[in-house]
Chains A and B, each alone.
Chain A
């Protein structure tokens, strides 16, 4: 008997048990599935549109045609100073793979160092996503990616653009990136710019987040976060935010910290976000939306 056959035979003979905890989690998940799917997702609009073996790459450039120019003229104007347009759409379908990426660009009446920096960064990010897609997708794959953008805030004082990246089918991963501009100066701002130098905003925010996570776990046993002392995993804990952690202002002007999937909790928790309420933070805030 050659090694291949020997390995096959051994594998057949071995019955590796599934631990009770794993089995319980599977059963629990199945038990809670809705009879009708309720989680809304962008992928729905692609259903039925995935054609076999058709490969199409479309780059739509501004003013590349009269029709395109007309379309661009009707894109949303988001404010007197900053506006966002989709400058390029990358679409590809190949077998079961599908990708659709809208690349936005911020334009402004005058010069804005922030807009220029963010536009370059978005361009690089999109290139990276396309590279990843081209390396990962293949004819037997199930790789769907959808990248869209949204203006979160646009006032006389503050501008925020969010890029949503949904990896569909293959993993169900959702990622968000936020880009902010202080409108009066036109400069790009990050979390660390919101507070005076020397103010320990990292500790204040991290402590509030950990407190909120504990409260949520106490209030709802189906919520679970990776916190020291509460996690059974023993391998990873959320302890502190990144100095330039992503954030945005909600419509009440409160700071919201969104986390990516798996960043602070198991994937089943999705992408949790927390609205900060510590008064001290707002007393130290240098910018208002």
Chain B
């Protein structure tokens, strides 16, 4: 298959994951679009260096994560892991998105892990690779996120 066509298909198949991850880290849809755009350009440019095409999805998410962190660094929006903020809801007040509403209330580091693990089925190892942290750290963050989500979901039920 033509490489450009293959790449386009892959991006389109992963568009939702890209949006959720970028929103999970940045909490702003315009920023998320900036990060996604730059990640697509970078991924396309670097595609020949990706030897195992089946690794495309975590590789793309890793690139996107770095774009998001680059934006955070430049714009000093980083939220400390220890702080739990009530961030603005990421997508309105849809009652059908009860978990998503709760996820929005986590800090950005926990949000990213939850998005990748629960919404998009990445393994702990893959998440570690995407976010540049150890697998043990992923487990710690998931455990923390679960604690917060339990309280947040109980409160909303």
Contacts and interface: CB of A to CB of B under 8 A. Distances in A.
Q: Do A and B bind each other?
A: yes
Contacts of A235: 28, 75, 77
Given A8-B118, A16-B20, A21-B29, 16 more contacts: A7-B146, A10-B118, A11-B99, A25-B37, A26-B37, A33-B4, A37-B44, A138-B129, A138-B134, A140-B128, A143-B132, A169-B49, A171-B70, A172-B41, A267-B35, A267-B71
B86 interface: no
Contacts of B34: 266-268
Nearest 9 interchain pairs by C-beta = A171-B66, A262-B74, A267-B38, A172-B42, A140-B129, A11-B118, A266-B34, A25-B33, A10-B99
Contacts of A4: 146
B40 A142 contact: no
Interface string A138-166: 10111100000000000000000000000
Contacts of B19: 16, 18-19, 22
B140 interface: no
Interface in A11-52: 11, 14, 16-19, 21-23, 25-26, 29-30, 33, 35, 37, 39, 41, 43, 46-47, 50
Interface of A: 3-4, 7-8, 10-11, 14, 16-19, 21-23, 25-26, 29-30, 33, 35, 37, 39, 41, 43, 46-47, 50, 136, 138, 140-143, 167-173, 232-233, 235-236, 260-263, 266-268
B59 interface: yes
B62 A7 contact: no
Interface string B69-86: 111011101000000000
Contacts of B46: 43, 168-169, 172
Contact of B29 (A19, A35, A50, A138): A19
Interface residues of B, number: 58
Contacts of B106: none
Given A11-B118, A16-B100, A262-B70, A22 B49 contact: no
Q: Which of A14, A39, A260 has the most CB of B within 10 A?
A: A14
B112 interface: no
Nearest to B9: A30
B91 A16 contact: yes
B110 interface: no
B12 interface: yes
A22 B33 contact: yes
A235 B33 CA distance: 15
Nearest to B18: A26
B30 A233 contact: yes
Given A25-B36, A30-B8, A173-B70, A233 B31 contact: yes
Contacts of A26: 11-12, 15, 18, 33, 36-37, 40
Interface string B87-115: 00001000011111000000000000010
